[in-house]
């Protein structure tokens, strides 16, 4: 009988093993959703998502659930694909591996990108709103 894999061995094995495409596809989907939601936050003048979750006790829970609803499908796909991967590669099921896969492949990329996109979109919108129609900006070289 083989010894159980450590967390790091299991993570490294997942990168090379069957269904390895999910290491690109799922973070890409989470990033896409984070960018989409960050732009929507900017348009609705909402504060940065992760910062609000961590600091605003009144609205933090609401923002957390809204984010989970948005990225939940990608997390679910990450979990299902990891279960399939575990049965193919290890012939076993480890709940913590599924949880880690969903967090690493979906939730963390989503949370990391949503706030900065919100800030960039606000900056971009404010920069272009301050220009009058027909005004052309010129950039001088330093």
What would the pLDDT profile of 21-71 be if each residue is shown by its tens digit? 778 888 898 899 999 999 999 999 888 777 888 888 888 888 888 888 888
Per-residue pLDDT at 123: 92
Band (pLDDT 50/70/90 cuts) for residue 138 is low
Alpha-carbon span 111 to 93, nearest angstrom: 27
Per-residue pLDDT at 142: 47
Per-residue pLDDT at 14: 65
The three-class DSSP label of residue 63 is helix
Per-residue pLDDT at 122: 93
Alpha-carbon span 13 to 94, nearest angstrom: 14
> How many CA atoms lie within 13 Å of 83's alpha carbon, on the beta-carbon side?
7
> 25-34, 49-58, 114-123, 127-136: which range is least confident on average?
127-136
Residue with token string 């992760």: 50
| Candidate ranges 36-40, 68-72, 73-77, 138-142; pick with highest mean pLDDT | 36-40
- Burial status of residue 82 (CB atoms within 10 A of its CB: 0-12, 13-18, 19 or more): buried
**Average pLDDT, whole number, for the chain?**
80
The three-class DSSP label of residue 6 is coil
């Amino acid at each position: 009988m083989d010894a159980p894999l450590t967390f790091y061995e299991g993570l490294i094995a997942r990168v090379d093993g069957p269904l390895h495409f999910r290491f690109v596809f799922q973070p890409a989907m989470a990033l896409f959703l984070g960018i989409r939601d960050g732009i929507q936050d900017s348009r609705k003048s909402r504060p940065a998502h992760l910062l609000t979750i961590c600091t605003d006790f009144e609205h933090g829970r609401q923002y957390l659930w809204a984010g989970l609803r948005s990225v939940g499908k990608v997390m679910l796909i990450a979990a299902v694909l990891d279960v399939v991967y575990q049965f193919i590669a290890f012939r076993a099921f480890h709940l913590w591996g599924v949880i880690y896969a969903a967090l690493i492949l979906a939730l963390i990329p989503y949370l990391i990108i949503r706030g900065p996109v919100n800030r960039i979109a606000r900056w971009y919108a404010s920069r272009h709103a301050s220009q009058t129609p027909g005004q052309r900006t010129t950039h001088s070289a330093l």
